[in-house]
Copies of this chain bind each other. A is one copy, B any other.
Amino acid sequence: MKRPGHVEAGRVERGVNVPQSYRLARRDSRGERTVVHLRNGATFGGEEIAICAGPCGVESSEQLDETARSVADAGANVLRGGAYKPRTSPYSFQGLGEEALKMLRDAGDRYGLGVVTEVLDPRDVELVTKYADMLQIGTRNMQNFPLLREVGATRMPVLLKRGLSATVQEWLLAAEYVLLGGNESVVLCERGVRSFDVATRNLLDISVVPLLEDLTHLPVIVDPSHAMGIARLVPPIAVAAIAAGAHGLLIEVHPDPPNALSDGAQSLDCAQFRELMRRLSPVAEFAGRRLPRRKPSGDGVANAGYRGSAAGEESASTAHSEVRSSSSGVKLA
């Protein structure tokens, strides 16, 4: 069996002569910065920033459709939503699984949005790649190495969230696991680290935005929703992130936050999200970037529906991920 999880096992390497750092992720390993493209045209790392928005968890097709339509109208270009939810308590809502994946694909196609959703289990990677455009590796799984290897074996873009108390070096080494599998489409996502203060849910480390620009060629986006845990603080921090140079945002939006099954306190409602998008436009411009271009709903990004499993993992992922900038070509062992 050739699962990616075990390619390294059995190979005894002496640590001494092997540089214990991120060879592939480092800035100077490529001539140009990586730009990650989704099938619907969304880009991470280019002049156009990516706005990923949607509910924490997919709860119903109605909830998702309403949110997707609203965020698309407001200018988002990627739909986020959890089908498999990592929850601290086993008694909390754990997600709707494949049913939610179908809803995400439908809503994404309907409104021209790319779809990013979290995968928790290496055994689910194949299934999730059938529906999603980008695989999210959550905070708790930043060092789930079998999972990193599994997504590294696909050719689907990966959104790699920073671990709860991961150093920048550990984060880049986690990215290295994906890159080493041959998947060049990694986007880093800062979402706050654990701190001693409970005033906010986590402590957003905004310094990584310019810091990572020096250290790596990979794009970095910011998730102010999980960092803050309080909806009112999300817009000013989103604005600050773009001003600091972030290549995109991941924002939780729910049509009815007080009744959300998870993360209601930190979710913007649809009107708040629209207002945020209005504020972001001049800041993006100031930062030398621009918001996603509006596309009329139902235009050319309409799709042929679900990709069946017959299509195979490889074709599905190459269809979605084009790391175009690598003109010099990165040769990965």
Contacts and interface: CB of A to CB of B under 8 A. Distances in A.
Interface stretch (A27-35, A109-117, A167-175, A321-329): A167-175
Interface string A203-236: 1111111110010000000000001101011001
Contact of A146 (B121, B210, B230, B283): B121
Contacts of A176: 89-90
Interface string A82-111: 001011111111111101000000000000
A276 interface: no
A195 interface: yes
Contacts of A262: 15
B93 A13 contact: yes
B10 A97 contact: yes
A165 B164 contact: yes
A204 B241 CA distance: 13
A74 interface: no
A212 to B, nearest CB: 10
A15 B243 contact: no
In the assembly, how many copies of this chain are there?
4
Interface string A1-18: 001011011111111001
Q: Specify the main secondary structure of chain A where it touches its partner.
A: loop
Interface stretch (A37-45, A136-144, A153-161, A312-320): A136-144
Contact of A261 (B9, B12, B59, B143): B12
A70 to B, nearest CB: 22
A122 interface: yes
Interface residues of A, number: 92
Given A120-B146, A283-B243, A13 B207 contact: no
Nearest to A174: B88
A286 interface: yes
A242 B23 CA distance: 36
Contact of A93 (B15, B140, B197): B15
A3 B122 CA distance: 13
A295 interface: no
B88 A170 contact: yes
A301 interface: no
Interface string A281-310: 011001000000000000000000000000
Contacts of A170: 88
Contacts of A15: 92-93, 261-262
10 contacts: A15-B261, A23-B91, A121-B122, A167-B197, A198-B198, A200-B211, A206-B240, A210-B232, A214-B232, A239-B244
- 7 shortest A-B CB distances, which residue pairs? A9-B97, A243-B243, A8-B94, A121-B146, A240-B244, A165-B165, A240-B240
